[in-house]
Amino acid sequence: MPACYELKRAKSGEFFFNLLAANGQNILKSEMYSSKSAAMNGIASVQTNCSEDERFECKTSGNGKAYFVLKAKNHQVIGQSQMYESESGCANGMASVKSNGTTSDIRDLTAG
C-alpha cells in the first residue's frame, strides 16, 4: 500500500485525517476540523509544510515519551505524531512524514 491520507469523521461530527506510511502505520494525526473542506485544507498544509525541517518540533510528553508536531508557516499545529520511546524514534517519525507527506493519495472515509 502506498502512503496515503485517510479523511475521517469523528463521532462528534468533526473531521480529521491521518497520514499513513506505506506500511500502514499512522505517522501523523490532525487536529479536529468543523468542516470537510477545512480538513482538506489541513491535508494541503501538510503536503506544503512537511518538507521543511523548521516546521517540525520534537517535544516530550508528561510521561517522558517523545513526540513531534508539524506546524504551518503561521506556527499553527497541523498534526501530531504518536508517542515514541526515544528521541531517535521521534526523528525517524519526522523523516517518515517528510518522505510520505507529499502524497496526493487521499482516501475519503467520511461517507456512510
- The CATH number that applies at residue 26 is 2.30.29.80
Residue 96's domain comprises: 4-108
User: What is the pTM assigned to this prediction?
Assistant: 0.93
Question: Tens-of-pLDDT digits for all 112 residues of the chain?
Answer: 799 999 999 999 999 999 999 999 999 999 999 999 999 999 999 999 999 999 999 999 999 999 999 999 999 999 999 999 999 999 999 999 999 999 999 999 998 5
How many domains does one find in the chain? Answer: 1
- DSSP letter string, 1-70: ---EEEEEE-TTS-EEEEEE-TTS-EEEEE--BSSHHHHHHHHHHHHHHTT-GGGEEEEE-TTS-EEEEE
